[in-house]
């Protein structure tokens, strides 16, 4: 066991919290508790994972591993006992969470509201599951908790008393969120009830957390609030500035809801900090951000987990406490780094099979964590459940209805077989996206091929399969899928027009606004896909035509301008590429990919200082960008900074060992330093990669 740097740790999760909303509130002095954390610790962005679905992300935060390892793959899962479907549960987690590891090491641990954590795990401390805070009955009616909501059970009765029912809230409780609430016709406008429900659930979680902090011994306290996400999904389109399509009267009525939600969380944070004390290390984070400006999507895709389109790739991270730097920013953190950092702060080794790392850049003094092969191999009681435990079916149904109300799943039907197939399909699709977005397309391929074969009408399956083929350079197969998608779209369009003619309605009269918007987005995605495919096939000029068509349809999409920039790079039009990337950054100033593109465009023009600067900005936003580290290394080497160049090149290979040019540059450096053994090793690896590429 290494040096213990934290006496106690308080881990606070704010689902969907975003610096773009927080920073103006901090500047205005409206979030004093958070300002205390920021001024006395470190802050930074926290890169999320894809797909940005909260149950998957919060489990990665708790375990330090990607979803394919921890097993939580969406919002629902088959229930072997009932034969139907249930909300995703902690029972499906295949590896230890940080509180299980701490339990094995005799730390006292409390966990409140984590998603997913039902049924509560028998850890060394108190576990309150994510079923705890949701009202199941009308006001003034009995409101029993589901079995397994609280461990140990002898605290269930006391904690049940601390819950807040939406019906308990008064006008005074709601006016800070909606000052003109009295003017609302609640028979027609149900938004006030949504706000009341969100406040009540948040208050219930907070009540349980603060009671446990006051009345139990603990070394580690984790509490998760989902309310910012709920406030944002319900009211972000009313958040200033007013966007097109939002009626002015509704904007004036609800424009303060999101800000009030953040300020409410700040008040609760103040109480947590007071109870924790100055000697406690505090970690505050979100799993992803939430678009609140011009990047707010114009519509929500009508598909499972469609509301996730509103999520932003960067969440928040703050840390303060003994041995943590003060009033500084940290860079390159991902949500996979939280569990390893907790272990490191407690002096425990980090699992070598974890995908994250200890955030050593946050510490005042140099810190080298210890390692263990895997915590999964450590025997002994860790507070995890036996595999055969099941939930109460009534509570499962209520949870399913809430997920449907939020738009994350389709409303459950009476056809249990259909529900099960849909749940399996979504979990497989999410797993494929995990593989695709963690540079493992070959693992995603058989899943996507199976999904598309079974449901070729699902355009999203086809688009992802085409991208997967493109990533593994199977361009002919990619072309077949793209042409099938185009053919299906033409057939569907002809059927739609035929129905409209039969109904004697013009397309304009019968068009549904949401479907029209979804179609426009889909067509721009198709143009983008065709453009990137043509680019991969070497048809650069034809590719740019499709990409510019996509730009006309969706000019405010940063990733589109990145693809345009990439195409211009292939065409060796460096100035055009720079303009495209700058346009992407104008739309989204935190686009790591655009900064990387700028680095390449300057590198090609031998403007090495600018190239290094932009590459540094890219990896500062998202650390896991192996090619950005590679190009940073090349720029630094050209500037004569050999040692720093070696660090960057080694980091590139640590993240992706298959970058042959990085091996060649390291071989060059080692040869010049007289280290022939290392030079030969990297030269051999570069040659092996080249032969492998030729064979494929």
Q: Please indicate, yes or no, whether residues 335 and 256 belong to a single structural domain of this protein.
A: yes
pTM of structure: 0.86
Neighbours of 244 (CB within 10 A): 5
**Nearest alpha carbon to residue 585 among 576, 593, 573:** 593
Q: Please indicate, yes or no, whether residues 687 and 566 belong to a single structural domain of this protein.
A: no
Residue 558 lies in a domain: yes
Q: How far is CA 312 from CA 94, 303, 315, 580, in A?
A: 27, 18, 7, 21
Cα separation of the two ends of the chain: 47
Distance (Å, whole) CA 351 – CA 215? 32
Q: Please indicate, yes or no, whether residues 190 and 314 belong to a single structural domain of this protein.
A: yes
Which pLDDT belongs to residue 399? 58
Residue 321 lies in a domain: yes
Distance (Å, whole) CA 692 – CA 696? 6
Residue 477 lies in a domain: no
DSSP codes joined into one string, 614-674:
HHHHHHHH-S--HHHHHHHHHHHHHTT-HHHHHHHHHHHHHH-TT-HHHHHHHHHHHHHTT
Which pLDDT belongs to residue 546? 86
Write b or e for each residue in 403-436: b if 16 or more Cβ atoms lie within 10 A of its Cβ, otherwise e.
Answer: beeebbbbebeeeeeebbebbbbbbbbbbbbbbb
Q: Which residues pair with 285 in a beta bridge?
A: 13, 317
Residue 37 lies in a domain: yes
CA atoms within 13 A on the CB side of 370: 12
Residue 345 lies in a domain: yes
Residue 73 lies in a domain: yes
Domain boundary among 367, 395, 423: 395
Q: Please indicate, yes or no, whether residues 252 and 377 belong to a single structural domain of this protein.
A: yes
Domain boundary among 371, 395, 419: 395
Which pLDDT belongs to residue 252? 97
Distance (Å, whole) CA 616 – CA 596? 9
CATH code for the domain of 187: 3.40.720.10
Peptide bond preceding 51 in cis form (omega within 30 of 0): yes
499 close to 509: Cβ distance less than 8 angstroms: no
Q: Please indicate, yes or no, whether residues 168 and 20 belong to a single structural domain of this protein.
A: yes
Give the count of domains, the chain.
Answer: 3
Instruction: Look up residue 396 and give its two tokens.
Output: 């499962």
Q: Quick one: DSSP state of residue 349?
A: P
111 close to 123: Cβ distance less than 8 angstroms: yes
Instruction: Look up residue 240 and give its two tokens.
Output: 């200033």
Q: Quick one: DSSP state of residue 340?
A: H
Residue 172 lies in a domain: yes
Residue 449 lies in a domain: no
- Please report, for the chain, how many H helices and E strands are present, in that order: 28, 16
Q: Please indicate, yes or no, whether residues 582 and 618 belong to a single structural domain of this protein.
A: no
Q: Please indicate, yes or no, whether residues 549 and 683 belong to a single structural domain of this protein.
A: no
CA atoms within 13 A on the CB side of 535: 24
Q: How far is CA 445 from CA 426, 429, 469, 583, 691, in A?
A: 15, 11, 8, 33, 24
416 close to 84: Cβ distance less than 8 angstroms: yes
Tokens 């934290």 -> residue: 6
Which pLDDT belongs to residue 98? 98
The residues, ordered by sequence, that sit 6+ positions from 12 with a Cβ below 8 Å of its Cβ are: 222, 223, 225, 269, 272, 282, 283, 284, 285
Domain boundary among 395, 411, 436: 395
Burial of 693 (0-12, 13-18, 19+ CB in 10 A): exposed
Per-10-residue mean pLDDT of the chain, 696 residues long, equals 92 98 98 98 95 95 97 87 83 95 97 96 97 86 91 97 95 95 93 96 98 98 98 96 93 98 98 97 98 88 86 96 95 94 97 95 93 95 78 49 58 71 91 93 96 91 93 93 85 66 52 57 74 85 86 78 90 94 92 95 97 94 90 97 96 90 96 95 93 74
Q: Which residues pair with 315 in a beta bridge?
A: 46
Distance (Å, whole) CA 341 – CA 367? 11
Distance (Å, whole) CA 449 – CA 468? 10
Residues 322-366: pLDDT tens digits?
A: 999 999 999 889 999 999 999 999 999 999 999 999 999 999 998
Which pLDDT belongs to residue 10? 98
User: What secondary structure, in 3-state letters, does 381-447 show?
Assistant: CCCCCCCCCCCCHHHHHHHHHHHHHHCCCCCCCCCHHHHHHHHHHHHHHHHHHHHHCCCCHHHHHHH
Q: Quick one: DSSP state of residue 348?
A: P
Torsion of Cα atoms, 485 then 491 then 495 then 498, to 10°: 140
Task: Report, in this order, helix, strand and coil percent for the chain, each rounded to 5.
Answer: 55, 10, 35
DSSP codes joined into one string, 297-313:
-SS--SSTTGGGGGEES
Q: Please indicate, yes or no, whether residues 639 and 580 belong to a single structural domain of this protein.
A: no
Q: Please indicate, yes or no, whether residues 225 and 147 belong to a single structural domain of this protein.
A: yes
CA atoms within 13 A on the CB side of 428: 18
Q: Please indicate, yes or no, whether residues 571 and 627 belong to a single structural domain of this protein.
A: no
Distance (Å, whole) CA 97 – CA 75? 19
Sign of the dihedral through C-alpha 57, 58, 63, 69: negative
Q: Please indicate, yes or no, whether residues 560 and 637 belong to a single structural domain of this protein.
A: no
448 close to 432: Cβ distance less than 8 angstroms: yes
Distance (Å, whole) CA 374 – CA 343? 13
Range of the domain at 70: 8-395
CATH code for the domain of 660: 1.25.40.10
Q: Residue 204: in which H helix or E strand, if any?
A: helix 191-215
Q: Please indicate, yes or no, whether residues 171 and 316 belong to a single structural domain of this protein.
A: yes
Distance (Å, whole) CA 582 – CA 51? 26
603 close to 635: Cβ distance less than 8 angstroms: yes
Which pLDDT belongs to residue 413? 61
**Nearest alpha carbon to residue 219 among 362, 141, 105:** 105
DSSP codes joined into one string, 461-506:
HHHHHHHHHHHTT-HHHHHHHHHHHHHHHHHHHHHHHHHHHHTT--
Q: Residue 125: in which H helix or E strand, if any?
A: strand 125-128
């Amino acid at each position: 066991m290494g040096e213990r740097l934290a006496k106690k740790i308080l881990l606070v999760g704010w689902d969907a919290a975003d610096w773009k909303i927080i920073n103006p509130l901090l500047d205005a002095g409206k979030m004093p508790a958070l300002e205390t954390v920021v001024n006395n610790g470190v802050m930074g962005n926290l890169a999320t994972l894809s797909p940005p679905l909260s149950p998957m992300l919060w489990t990665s935060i708790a375990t330090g591993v990607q979803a394919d390892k921890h097993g939580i793959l969406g919002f629902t899962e088959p229930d072997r006992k009932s034969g139907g479907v249930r909300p995703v549960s902690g029972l499906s987690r295949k590896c230890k969470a940080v509180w299980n590891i701490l339990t094995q090491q005799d730390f006292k641990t409390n966990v409140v509201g984590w998603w997913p954590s039902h049924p509560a795990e028998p850890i060394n401390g108190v576990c309150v599951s994510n079923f705890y805070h949701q009202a199941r009955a009308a006001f003034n009616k009995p409101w029993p908790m589901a079995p397994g909501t609280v461990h140990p059970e002898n605290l269930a009765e006391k904690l049940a008393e601390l819950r807040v029912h939406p019906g308990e809230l008064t006008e005074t409780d709601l006016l800070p969120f909606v000052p003109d609430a009295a003017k609302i016709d609640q028979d027609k406008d149900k938004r006030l009830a949504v706000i009341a429900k969100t406040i009540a659930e948040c208050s219930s979680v907070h009540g349980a957390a603060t009671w446990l902090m006051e009345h139990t011994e603990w070394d580690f306290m984790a509490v998760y609030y989902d309310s910012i996400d709920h406030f944002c999904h319900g009211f972000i389109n009313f958040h200033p500035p007013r966007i097109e399509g939002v009626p002015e009267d509704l904007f004036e009525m609800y424009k303060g809801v999101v800000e009030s939600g953040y300020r409410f969380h700040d008040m609760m944070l103040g109480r947590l900090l007071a109870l924790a004390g100055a000697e406690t290390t505090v970690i505050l984070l979100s799993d992803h951000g939430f678009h609140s400006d011009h990047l707010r999507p114009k519509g929500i895709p009508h598909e499972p987990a469609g509301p996730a389109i509103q999520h932003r790739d960067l969440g928040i991270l703050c840390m303060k406490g003994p041995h943590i730097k003060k009033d500084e920013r940290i860079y390159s953190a991902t949500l996979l780094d939280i569990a390893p950092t907790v272990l490191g702060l407690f002096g425990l080794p980090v699992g070598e099979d974890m995908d994250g790392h200890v955030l050593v850049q946050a510490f005042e003094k140099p810190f080298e964590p210890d390692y263990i092969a895997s915590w999964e191999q450590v025997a002994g009681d860790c507070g995890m459940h036996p595999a055969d435990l099941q939930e109460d079916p009534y509570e499962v149904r209520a949870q399913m209805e809430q997920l449907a109300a939020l738009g994350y799943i389709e409303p459950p039907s009476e056809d249990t077989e259909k529900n099960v197939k849909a749940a399996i399909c979504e979990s497989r699709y999410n797993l494929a996206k995990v593989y695709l977005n963690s540079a493992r397309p070959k693992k995603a391929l058989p899943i996507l091929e199976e999904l598309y074969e079974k449901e070729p009408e699902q355009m999203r399956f086809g688009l992802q399969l085409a991208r997967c083929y493109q990533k593994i350079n199977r361009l002919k197969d990619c072309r077949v899928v793209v042409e099938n998608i185009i053919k299906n779209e033409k057939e569907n369009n002809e059927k739609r027009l035929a129905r409209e003619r039969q109904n004697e309605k013009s397309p304009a009269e019968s068009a549904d606004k949401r479907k029209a918007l979804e179609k426009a987005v889909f067509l721009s995605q198709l143009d983008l896909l065709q453009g990137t495919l043509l680019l991969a096939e070497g048809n650069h000029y034809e590719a740019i035509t499709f990409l510019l068509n996509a730009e006309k349809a969706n000019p405010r999409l940063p990733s589109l301008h990145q693809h345009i920039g990439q195409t211009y790079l292939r065409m060796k039009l460096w100035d055009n590429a720079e303009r495209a990337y700058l346009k992407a950054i104008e739309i989204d100033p935190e686009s790591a990919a655009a900064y990387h593109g700028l680095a390449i465009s300057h590198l090609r023009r031998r403007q090495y200082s600018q190239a290094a600067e932009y590459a540094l900005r890219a990896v500062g936003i998202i650390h896991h960008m192996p090619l950005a580290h590679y190009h940073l290394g090349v720029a630094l080497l050209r500037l004569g900074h050999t040692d720093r160049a070696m660090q960057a090149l080694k980091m590139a290979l640590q993240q992706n060992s298959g970058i042959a040019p990085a091996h060649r540059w390291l071989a060059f450096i080692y040869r010049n330093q007289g280290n022939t053994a290392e030079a030969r090793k990297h030269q051999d690896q570069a040659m092996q990669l080249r032969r492998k590429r030729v064979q494929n």
